[in-house]
Amino acid sequence: MQARAALRSCLAQELACPEQTLRISNQRNQAPQLWLHGVKLEQPFCSISHTPGLALLAWHHAGPVGVDIQAVSRDAPRHELQAVAQLFLASNTAQVIELIAHDALFFEAFSRAWAAQEARLKCTGIALVECNEALQASLAGMHCQPLMVPDGYAAAVAWR
């Protein structure tokens, strides 16, 4: 709820409207929708992600946007994360991650790749699914950038 309140405060300034006239939807697994004076706004497009202690907010006037932030997990068994990467990430990405010998670097690379994939999926409005050619085609042409976040976290933003 704090992330939505922060997004509402930022967007009220961006849209030059009183904060109390702006409402942001809160439906699980759906991008936030904006309502101004009870009328749904077509833009800006918004995305929210949070992990304990941090939240990431984004909006974009020209098209869909997706963000993801997460803590780097160092407790999960490496072989389990490798299996997850094989299922959910592009095969070339999964192969590169698997070749990383040092565990600490592996966990960071996996988290960065996972955050990028989640951001792209959020941008397209697709729930988490196993990676396949159709999914790769739907993600083609999308911009995706890693974000600078505190050590121990990984984050990315994606947009069209």
Cα-based torsion angle of the residue sequence 20, 1, 68, 119 in order, rounded to the nearest 10 degrees? -50
pLDDT value of position 128: 92
pLDDT value of position 4: 86
Q: Residue 114: phi, psi to the nearest 5?
A: -65, -45
pLDDT value of position 136: 93
| Residue pLDDT, tens place only, 17-69 | 999 999 998 888 788 899 999 999 999 999 999 998 899 999 999 999 999 99
Over residues 9-14, the mean pLDDT reads: 93
Mark whether 20 and 78 lie in a shared domain.
no
pLDDT value of position 1: 73
| Residue pLDDT, tens place only, 83-125 | 999 999 999 999 999 999 999 899 999 999 999 999 999 999 9
pLDDT value of position 73: 86
Give this prediction's pTM. Answer: 0.90
Over residues 1-7, the mean pLDDT reads: 86
Over residues 67-91, the mean pLDDT reads: 95
pLDDT value of position 106: 96
Mark whether 107 and 49 lie in a shared domain.
no
- Cα separation, 63 vs 46, whole angstroms: 9
SS3 67: strand
Residue recorded with tokens 């800006």: 44
- Structural domain boundaries, residue 51: 2-64
Mark whether 75 and 39 lie in a shared domain.
no
Mark whether 138 and 73 lie in a shared domain.
yes
Greatest alpha-carbon span in the chain = 55
The domain that holds 137 is classified in CATH as: 3.90.470
